[in-house]
Structure 1
Amino acid sequence: MSEHARPDAGAERQSGILGMIERAGNRLPDPVFIFFYLIIAMAVISTIAWFFNWSVEHPTARDAAGDPLVVSAVSVFHPDSLRHLLVDMPRIFTGFHPLGYVLVVMLGAGVAERAGLFGTAMRAAVRDVPRLFLTPAVALVAMMGNLAADAAYVVLIPLAAVIYAAAGRHPVAGITAAFAGVSGGFSANLLPGQLDALLFGITEAAVVALDPTWTMNIAGNWFFIAAMTFVYLPIIWFVTDRIVEPRLGPWSGGTVAGGGETPETDPEGETTPAQKKGLAHAGVAVLLVCLVWLFLTVDVVSLVTLGAFSLYGGNAPLYLGDPANEVTENLVPFFSSLVAGFMILFVFAGIAYGRAAGTIKDHRDIVDMMAGAMKDMGYYLVLAFFAAYFVELFNQSQLGLISAVNGADAIRDSGLPLPIVLGLIVVFAGLLNLFVGSASAKWALMAPVLVPMLMLLNVSPEMATAAYRVGDSATNIITPLMVYFPLVLVFARRWVPEFGIGSLTSAMIPYSIWLLIAGIIMTVGWVYLGLPLGPGAEVAFTLPQAG
């Protein structure tokens, strides 16, 4: 690896707060042991919380008598807790949310990467593209990639590194830009997606107590999240090109992970005839896979015959077809299938490329490539075990729910002007996001308090949801408790082995700060101006008159 590719080569030159954070963070133990120490700390804290009987009333659940259910802290050393943690250890590990997504996609990506498809395609794609426009392109695709949910993390982020390296730019800058788009811009998009359906379903349940006639509008934040996309795009562009990449230094370590060169690449960067043939074959494979997914989503036969005959005997496998649902709700199976779709697409495209380019001789090469991808994920598997155990222990202690409810109550009782309250909701959601990763879990805890409170202040449920989404996105990228944070660290270490948790945190902090500031200003300004949040969704809200 070139010396220019090593962060330590320039680490001594770093100064200021970010340099201090990087150096301090890189002195921390390995992330595996950080989670191990957090498990020990959580065991102690949960026992203290249990001893002092920390508890809250659950905002929605009721006991048998109809009274609010009291949720109390649970000690790790309670017999039931210990029994669960020891007996269900395999299930806790295998049930870790991102584990299956990561391994499935990486099986396919391993074939496409090792066959040479990624390196060749990215080199051809960016050879004539100005370096200046790489960052906004990556950031926009990353934000739009949220429609693919978890697949965006395991597909777009490592691809961004390849794109940057192929363009002669530092691949870690590509990783940070993509991570900022996918995770920091988690709610920003030009189109509503499955996250909208998920969050508004929770919002609707919170509204019923005050207005049983209110119905969920899946596009209730459409205009708002589209505006977020255009607000966040220049921020990610500026932070990447003007703050993060200069701190990383120049890159001369090659176009593939580890500093090597893409196989079969002409020394002057031109694509060889075999590679061009491989790209053409891979393009056909990609088209065929996309057509298959379209066929599974749209009943082509019944569409052509105007409903006279249904090939599937009902709805298409990836489309619910319920007339009572919005189109996006009916497409939830399609969105959820994209992880499998990417895996299949990468496998077939990689095979098509490799057979034509000569990098795949027989089926054993395909198996070796998949095995190699799993070998690269060995560290992540170890890390995922400890991370899964900590997340399970934290949830079981009930401390996440207790802290969320108490924090929401504090905002409710603040008595501050309305725009400031919404700004505080953004800040509170961002702070809470450092401790509770799931967007739906946090909103399920906050919505029953925040949504009715804001409705009584003449703020619509759509605006309450929008404010929450801003805070939930901005701090995703700076907390190691975010389930994909360790994976992004693994991606960075494939290019720069010395890249530590402090390096990644310090690189992402500027994104988080500027996205949070911009999000707060946008939220407060949206309320002051009274702009529509989506079709039929306004900031103002009037409760229906009783009787």
Structure 2
Amino acid sequence: MTHPSNTTTKRGAFTRFLDTVEWLGNLLPHPITLFAIFCLLIIIGSGIAGYFGLSAQDPRPGGGIIEAVSLMNAEGLQRIVTSLVTNFTGFTPLGTVLVALLGVGIAERSGLLSAAMRGLVMNAHPRAVTVAVVFAGVISNTAAELGYVVLVPLSAMIFHSLGRHPLAGLAAAFAGVSAGYSANLLIGTVDPLLAGITTKAANLIDPDYLVGAEANWYFMAISTFLIAIMGTVVTEKIVEPKLGKYDPSEASIDLEEQKIESLTKLEKRGMIGAGISFLVLAILLAFTIVPEWGILRNPETGEVRNSPFLKGIVAFIFITFAIPGFVYGWITGVMKTDRDVIDAMSNSMSTMGMYIVLVFFAAQFVAFFGWTNFGSIFAVKGAEFLTSAGLTGPVVFVLFIAMCAFVNLMLGSASAQWAITAPIFVPMLMIIGYSPEVIQVAYRIGDSTTNIITPMMSYFGLILAVAVRYKKDLGIGTLIATMLPYSIVFMLGWSALFFIWVFGFDMPVGINAPTYYPAVTP
């Protein structure tokens, strides 16, 4: 039996740890401000590095000395002011994300995505509700906002209606949406976003290297089922028993007014129509890529690798969301004219203002970092250290995943964190022999699993507000303590899948994605 004083001490230490994380996170400026500061630091640092002659030996065959390039001179200033716009417009993730979101916006505005989530969760057998909730949370990441805004409150209501603790439903949905953020059966908007940043980082070592949106698809599709299973086990074996029997008097709202709306006949017809249109699109697309004569295969080699299909995957994301979304909206009467479709796309773009501003400064940071040769120099120096320490084997990914998870506690934006860390760690791990695709997968695991235990996550306040409806005295510490088991289990289980998949069976993490990069020894 645990002594009460020991339990109090453990809780006190845990609370202090959470308070420290929150305090450290609050010290950080907004990610946009952070990138602006980093840009200034890169310029100043390049001047210092150039003055002292910072350099490294290029490990590539026939390579010379890589020298730091100063931006604190006339030539550097000229390059900055003349490239400011092209740095922004040429930043790969910007266009790919915006184009993909045009299609997602139609599917979201028409009500298709919301109806699909409601139908999946509400029509599940009572014994399968938990797995349906977590699974729906994971696949909702194609339009993450809907997962937080619709699925999390809906899951709490469903659990309460079944006589289960509503906070268990909230926790299960939150875990699926946020801790399983990178997993999905479909290639979503996060895939081209991260692939664009990874490509920029990989180009510091190999200027011709291209990471596609499909680079992690195989691994992330399988991860969807793993997250659903782990989330179900944690909910039913750890979280729900710990929460105990729910006392309705703890609620801050009238629970009798909580109504769960089932899909109407019109919505069901819309879902059938959208499903048929998606099937037709899939068949047509298959004809362009499956046969050897497919027009979207590589015209030179006849293979799928480096084909127009893979290079244009963002266009297909747009189409496969836009057309079924419009069909659903047309059947349900939500979308009757082209004006409704245009309004849906416009509304989707209007929500991206913050992201566009962030990308402007992130693009400058990535460009400046590349110009100074800091990325290549740090990568070589880091690879030399890893080699001398004997950390060139798979164990290096244990440290990398843990580092990404820790940084995510204080810098919750996936794109912001990767834009900062990728230019250093992608080249570094490429030098010791690992492909950018595998490095990106490891990052996505670390970045996802701690989303649910950091107050820095942008939707954490929203989740807390929903939780308070069912337990009026619930605080940040209680919510984080509830979500911590998911974070731990997901981190361990997902990492184990990574090592078994990549190093145990040497299977590709995505379409034509290699595990290793031709190793060069510093």
Q: Is TM-score (shorter-chain normalized) higher than 0.5?
A: yes
Deviation, structure 1 residue 354:
1.5
Select 1:82's aligned residue among 52, 74, 77: 77
CA distance in 2, matches of 1:223, 1:280: 27
- State the SS of the aligned residue for 1:59: coil
Aligned: 1:168 with 2:156 = yes
Q: Tell me what 2:384 maps to.
A: 409
Residues 17 and 116 (structure 1), Cα distance of their counterparts in 2 relative to 1, 3 Å cut: same
Q: Tell me what 2:295 maps to.
A: 317
CA distance in 2, matches of 1:94, 1:240: 44
Q: Tell me what 2:283 maps to.
A: 291
Maintained 8 Å contact 1:278/1:353: yes
Aligned: 1:93 with 2:70 = no
CA distance in 1, matches of 2:357, 2:462: 16
Q: Tell me what 2:102 maps to.
A: 107
The aligned amino acid for 1:356 is I
Once the two structures are superposed, what CA deviation does each residue of 1:317-348 show, in whole Å capped at 9, x if it has no partner?
A: 322277696x6x36x54344332112112222
Query: Bigger CA drift: 167-176 or 221-230?
Result: 221-230
CA distance in 2, matches of 1:268, 1:173: 18
Q: Tell me what 2:160 maps to.
A: none
The aligned amino acid for 1:95 is G
CA distance in 2, matches of 1:439, 1:26: 24
The aligned amino acid for 1:88 is S
- State the SS of the aligned residue for 1:316: coil
CA distance in 2, matches of 1:386, 1:318: 35
The aligned amino acid for 1:533 is D
Q: Tell me what 2:51 maps to.
A: 51
Maintained 8 Å contact 1:164/1:174: yes
- State the SS of the aligned residue for 1:102: helix
Deviation, structure 1 residue 137:
2.5
CA distance in 1, matches of 2:234, 2:459: 20
Once the two structures are superposed, what CA deviation does each residue of 1:224-265 show, in whole Å capped at 9, x if it has no partner?
A: 99998887776666788968xx99xx9xxxxxxxxxxxxxxx
Select 1:125's aligned residue among 95, 120, 132: 120
Deviation, structure 1 residue 127:
0.5
Select 1:71's aligned residue among 66, 79, 84: 66
Deviation, structure 1 residue 51:
2.1
Q: Tell me what 2:191 maps to.
A: none
CA distance in 2, matches of 1:358, 1:526: 46
Maintained 8 Å contact 1:54/1:72: yes
Maintained 8 Å contact 2:139/2:184: no
CA distance in 2, matches of 1:225, 1:117: 23
Residues 268 and 225 (structure 1), Cα distance of their counterparts in 2 relative to 1, 3 Å cut: closer
Select 1:375's aligned residue among 345, 350, 358: 350
- State the SS of the aligned residue for 1:60: coil
Deviation, structure 1 residue 269:
0.9
CA distance in 2, matches of 1:135, 1:267: 18
Deviation, structure 1 residue 175:
6.6
CA distance in 2, matches of 1:225, 1:348: 25
CA distance in 1, matches of 2:353, 2:220: 37
Alignment of 1:509-528 (within 5 A): none
Alignment TM-score, normalising by the size of structure 1 = 0.60
Structure 1: 5+ residue runs without aligned partners?
Answer: 1-13, 63-67, 143-152, 187-194, 207-220, 251-265, 304-314, 452-460, 481-487, 540-547
CA distance in 2, matches of 1:222, 1:409: 32
Select 2:328's aligned residue among 304, 329, 353: 353
Alignment TM-score, normalising by the size of structure 2 = 0.63
Maintained 8 Å contact 1:423/1:523: no
- State the SS of the aligned residue for 1:167: helix
Maintained 8 Å contact 2:35/2:361: yes
Deviation, structure 1 residue 494:
8.6
- State the SS of the aligned residue for 2:94: helix
Maintained 8 Å contact 2:401/2:445: no
Deviation, structure 1 residue 517:
5.8
Deviation, structure 1 residue 71:
1.0
Alignment of 1:427-466 (within 5 A): 427=399, 431=403, 437=419, 442=425, 445-448=428-431, 450-451=432-433
CA distance in 2, matches of 1:125, 1:388: 39
Residues 222 and 105 (structure 1), Cα distance of their counterparts in 2 relative to 1, 3 Å cut: closer
Maintained 8 Å contact 2:50/2:69: yes
CA distance in 2, matches of 1:89, 1:479: 34
Maintained 8 Å contact 1:185/1:232: no
Maintained 8 Å contact 1:172/1:492: no
Overall identity of the aligned pairs, in %: 28
- The count of corresponding residues between Structure 1 and Structure 2 is 417
Select 1:423's aligned residue among 395, 398, 404: 395
CA distance in 2, matches of 1:440, 1:40: 17
Residues 168 and 428 (structure 1), Cα distance of their counterparts in 2 relative to 1, 3 Å cut: closer
Structure 2: 5+ residue runs without aligned partners?
Answer: 1-13, 158-168, 186-194, 207-215, 247-257, 408-416, 467-475, 509-514, 516-522
- State the SS of the aligned residue for 2:53: coil
Deviation, structure 1 residue 133:
0.8
CA distance in 1, matches of 2:487, 2:49: 31
CA distance in 1, matches of 2:338, 2:229: 45
Aligned: 1:25 with 2:44 = no
CA RMSD, 1 decimal: 5.1
Maintained 8 Å contact 1:165/1:171: yes
Maintained 8 Å contact 1:139/1:180: no
Maintained 8 Å contact 2:182/2:220: no
Deviation, structure 1 residue 361:
2.9
Once the two structures are superposed, what CA deviation does each residue of 1:173-200 show, in whole Å capped at 9, x if it has no partner?
A: 75764554454899xxxxxxxx9xx99x
- State the SS of the aligned residue for 1:366: helix
Residues 270 and 138 (structure 1), Cα distance of their counterparts in 2 relative to 1, 3 Å cut: closer
Residues 409 and 285 (structure 1), Cα distance of their counterparts in 2 relative to 1, 3 Å cut: same
Deviation, structure 1 residue 519:
7.4
CA distance in 2, matches of 1:117, 1:103: 20
Deviation, structure 1 residue 356:
1.5
Q: Tell me what 2:506 maps to.
A: 533
Query: Bigger CA drift: 273-282 or 93-102?
Result: 273-282
- State the SS of the aligned residue for 2:57: strand
Residues 531 and 296 (structure 1), Cα distance of their counterparts in 2 relative to 1, 3 Å cut: closer
